[in-house]
Structure 1
Amino acid sequence: MNIPVLETGVILIVDDNPNNLEVLSETLMDTGWEILIAVNGEGAIAQAEYACPDIILLDVMMPGIDGFTACQRLKSNPVTCDIPIIFMTALSETVDKVKGLSLGAVDYITKPFEHEEVLARIKTHLQIRNLTKQLQTHNQQLQQEIADRLAVETKLQKLTQELEQRVEERTFQLSQALHNFQQAQVRLLQQEKMSTLGELVAGIAHEINNPVNFILGNLNHASEYTQNFIDLFQLYQQYYPNPEVEIQQKIDEIDLDFLMQDSPQIMSSMYKGTKRLAQMIHSLRHFSRRDDSVVQPIDIHEGIDSTLLILQYRLKANSERSEIQIIKHYGTLPPVECFPGPLNQVFMNLLANAIDAIEESFITNTNFSKIASSSVHLLSVEDNGKITIRTALHKQGSVVVIKIADNGIGMTEEVKQRLSEPMFTTKPVGKGTGLGLSISRQIIEEKHGGTLSFVSEPGKGTEFCIEIPVLSQKA
């Protein structure tokens, strides 16, 4: 089955496996797209800088620099940072997929390749790429037209009021058109991101759920059987304290006393680990609810906890900072009618931004400490990063309020004024898209009829406040 191709473009395929290159080349042969090939990360970076392809299909495992390093370098280069990157990975490489998306990749293609899926994904991201270029062109045209209008107003000050009114109306129409175009682009990116993330998370949870449940269900039996064997050995020792020489040698060889003492502890550790894995699967399945067309009554706290569990790896201590503490002040809330998947994404965006703000404060203060005199203490930053989450009912129980506060770097007045603009971000190139807060605001205000506000002060942190009705008006 051939999928009709409506977009033209240049595709750079990066893979050190000739078979993969052959399969992808044959798949894309009749599309009309120009195909470029690189067999390692260095070659990919060089070709990307020279040819500026529209999309890069990037393998993870390669000789020399791997796909992740190549992605980081491409995203940090102003010449190539805007080129969409689609990772090529196996379905079992869960960590690779999540890491790839966090580095700035827009999608992934699983191995072995499916013809229709490859074409469909490439076509979708070509359309998004072309929309982005159209937006840039439209912005340039709009700026030029506004400049021309201002020049006309300067030279022709005696124009009639009617002409001035027409200019104002035209400017408003152009601004409204730009705003509508930006909002449409944000929605398109939001839908594609949630679709990709939902498929990834749901697929991971589905693949490992049954094996984990199987192990968890059998560990109780294994523990019971192990204890039975231990009890039996102890009875033998009680009634046959002097075994044959060969048996005694084997007992000494395997250190039977240690085995009987350590085996229950091993079983207990295995049970705790598998239980933890089962909880993670539950959180992934809860987070990846993709049906955003139907309002459902859900437990808000479960959504927040699921998101925190997914972000647990980012909260742990590392070489640059101590562990980030999570402080919960949960109120008593009824089930809230909402769209679970999009609301979980809001929690993910706000919590991830809080973690970024705390990490930036540690980096800033570390650099400042190197400059400051050792005899004068110039910093008053808390030793530990903290994120505080509060929930409560307001307005006679009709509105749920969720507050997420951090003690990170905070925001200046300039940043606060521009924070609602789509595409605006304070993060380095390749690390942030500037869409997180814009998408979150759309989800809260348009989908749930609520409000999203914040307060922030440089050096003292930021607090976001979500207010949504308990009973949805969107049902």
Structure 2
Amino acid sequence: MQITDAEILVVDDTPANLKVVTETLASAGYRVAIATSGERALKQLQNRVPALILLDIQMPGINGFETCKKIKENPELYRIPIIFLTARSDTDSTLKGFELGAVDYISKPFKEPELLARVKIHLQLQQMTQTLEQQVSERTQALSSALTELQRYQLQLIQHEKMSALGNLVAGIGHEINNPLGFVDGNILVLKEYFDDFLTYLRLYEQTYPPSNEVLSSKRRELDIDYLLTDIDTIFESMTKGCDLIRDVSKSIRIFSRTDTAAKLTSNLHEGLDSTLHILKYRLKAKDSRPAIQVIRDYSELPDIKCFPGQLNQAFMNILANAIDMFEEVAENTDYATLETNPQSIIVRTRLVQHQETESVEITITDNGKGISEDVCSQIFERNFTTKSVGKGTGLGLAIAHQVIVEKHGGSLNVQSELDQGTTFQIYLPTMD
């Protein structure tokens, strides 16, 4: 807007003054509106907002001071610059006007050049102020966007570093486990073959030369050789199963911490969930303070989807670990018998659904814990927000889970909870990349 296009409201109860001021402003190109009282001025301001107000002080009804006060109390009008037109030149009146928010005084009778100069300078100041406020607002918005982007990048960096470090750790652990495991597992098979050969020979020997010596017979009974020969098979079977369990743990760790590539990989979500639960198995076991936390899997048939499996597994881990942390906190304030009667449980359910008109996998993780308040639910995915005590939470776990699911996979993550009614995290992942 050009300064000379501005509309100026002149408020004066004297027609002669209105005429002179109006003609002076109009000759300079300003648009002029008039009001003959404070009441009329306030009514006009409800429908149109001028760029500047010239306000007489001495008027019947609401005088200029009272009119100025009411204008400045209105949040939609308080920015309008007000110049008082007055024949009063005492210091008290001047100070009162400035205290009420006026920007200037013009004494009557005024000189046209002075009036136009003061009007122009205050319109320029008003325009500069508005321009500056807009620039500040734009700069603030830009800084806010930059901060948000920086925080998002920090989360990505933290997630990447965690997964990279975990991948390196797991690779080393896997190497250290698999080498001796292969040695032990392979030797169990060889030892079993050797033992079977030895057992065949022993039985043939006893058939050919039945033990007649009482010392040998007594020792055979004492050692219960028949039981040992039978039980050794069970021992070999247990050792083989133990190796299989170690191999399963190693596989679960490897699946969980799978290093993601630049492109998405086709992955089985149930494998990821199972590997995550396997990793957390030690935290689910019974403790002195509580019985074991029950885990119920309710899986439906799902298609493999393209995703970053390592990152998704980390998101599952953060949500499940939060539930376990909550159960630990509850157990500290609940007696063991109560928890035995009402077992703590987590239900992991998967379904194929239509979500926002897109075929999606729905994964819900539900606990029967103490629930979350509405206020906490509204902040739960924010970075650095945590309800845990100092040293027990970083406020990054659920923020990372939200970023991984929403930003990295185009899905959604929601939470539904009521106090004392448990909590459900809903994850939706589109099946099509």
Normalised by the length of structure 1, the TM-score is: 0.59
**1:427 and 2:388 correspond:** yes
**1:460 and 2:429 correspond:** no
SS state at 2:378 partner: helix
Task: Report the residue type matching 2:343 in the other structure.
Answer: N
Contact kept in structure 1, 2:291 and 2:339, CA below 8 Å: no
Give distance in 1, aligned partners of 2:144 and 2:101.
23
Give distance in 1, aligned partners of 2:178 and 2:101.
72
* Residue-by-residue CA offset, 1:80-133 (whole Å, 9 max, x unaligned): xxxxxxxxxxxxxxxxxxxxxxxxxxxxxxxxxxxxxxxxxxxxxxxxxxxxxx
* Deviation of 1:402 (Å): 1.0
**1:260 and 2:221 correspond:** no
* Residue-by-residue CA offset, 1:392-417 (whole Å, 9 max, x unaligned): 11128831111111112221122112
SS state at 1:398 partner: strand
* Deviation of 1:314 (Å): 0.6
SS state at 2:326 partner: helix
The one of 283, 301, 304 equivalent to 2:252 is 283
**1:324 and 2:293 correspond:** yes
- Specify whether residues 234 and 380 from structure 1 end up closer, same or farther in structure 2 by C-alpha distance, changes over 3 A only: closer
* Residue-by-residue CA offset, 1:225-281 (whole Å, 9 max, x unaligned): 334433443444444333445644653564423422321121121111111001111
- Specify whether residues 364 and 179 from structure 1 end up closer, same or farther in structure 2 by C-alpha distance, changes over 3 A only: farther
The aligned counterpart of 1:361 is: 330
Give distance in 2, aligned partners of 1:242 and 1:331.
62
Give distance in 2, aligned partners of 1:407 and 1:157.
63
Give distance in 2, aligned partners of 1:409 and 1:214.
48
The one of 392, 408, 426 equivalent to 2:351 is 392
Give distance in 1, aligned partners of 2:421 and 2:190.
53
Task: Report the residue type matching 1:420 in the other structure.
Answer: F
SS state at 1:286 partner: helix
SS state at 2:364 partner: strand
Give distance in 1, aligned partners of 2:415 and 2:238.
43
* Deviation of 1:302 (Å): 0.7
SS state at 1:466 partner: strand
The aligned counterpart of 2:185 is: 216
Cα-Cα RMSD: 2.8
* Deviation of 1:206 (Å): 2.1
The aligned counterpart of 1:203 is: 172
The aligned counterpart of 1:383 is: 342
Give distance in 1, aligned partners of 2:407 and 2:267.
19
Give distance in 2, aligned partners of 1:438 and 1:464.
13
* Deviation of 1:162 (Å): 4.6
**1:410 and 2:379 correspond:** no
Comparing 183-192 with 384-393, greater Cα deviation is found at 183-192
The aligned counterpart of 1:444 is: 405
Comparing 383-392 with 166-175, greater Cα deviation is found at 166-175
* Residue-by-residue CA offset, 1:138-158 (whole Å, 9 max, x unaligned): xxxxxxxxxxxxxxx9x9898
Give distance in 1, aligned partners of 2:185 and 2:343.
36
Task: Report the residue type matching 1:206 in the other structure.
Answer: H
* Residue-by-residue CA offset, 1:60-87 (whole Å, 9 max, x unaligned): xxxxxxxxxxxxxxxxxxxxxxxxxxxx
**1:312 and 2:281 correspond:** yes
Contact kept in structure 2, 1:408 and 1:462, CA below 8 Å: yes
Matches within 5 A, 1:50-89: none
Q: Higher relative CO (CA 8 A, sep ≥ 6), structure 1 or 2?
A: 1
Percent of aligned pairs with the same residue? 47
Give distance in 2, aligned partners of 1:223 and 1:361.
49
Contact kept in structure 2, 1:400 and 1:467, CA below 8 Å: yes
* Deviation of 1:205 (Å): 1.2
Task: Report the residue type matching 1:393 in the other structure.
Answer: L
SS state at 2:178 partner: helix
The aligned counterpart of 2:123 is: none
Contact kept in structure 1, 2:290 and 2:339, CA below 8 Å: no
Give distance in 2, aligned partners of 1:203 and 1:417.
41
Which of the two has higher C-alpha Rg? Answer: 2
SS state at 1:365 partner: coil
Task: Report the residue type matching 1:362 in the other structure.
Answer: A
Comparing 207-216 with 335-344, greater Cα deviation is found at 207-216
Matches within 5 A, 1:94-173: 161-173=130-142
* Residue-by-residue CA offset, 1:365-409 (whole Å, 9 max, x unaligned): 349x9xxxxxxxxx8996211110111111288311111111122
Comparing 210-219 with 350-359, greater Cα deviation is found at 210-219
Give distance in 2, aligned partners of 1:242 and 1:264.
24
* Deviation of 1:211 (Å): 2.3
Which ranges of structure 2 fall in alignment gaps of 5 or more residues? 1-78, 80-99, 104-125
Contact kept in structure 2, 1:391 and 1:401, CA below 8 Å: yes
Normalised by the length of structure 2, the TM-score is: 0.65
- Specify whether residues 244 and 430 from structure 1 end up closer, same or farther in structure 2 by C-alpha distance, changes over 3 A only: same
Give distance in 2, aligned partners of 1:156 and 1:330.
69
Contact kept in structure 1, 2:260 and 2:311, CA below 8 Å: no
Across the two proteins, how many residue pairs are aligned to each other? 309
Give distance in 2, aligned partners of 1:462 and 1:407.
7
Contact kept in structure 2, 1:195 and 1:290, CA below 8 Å: yes
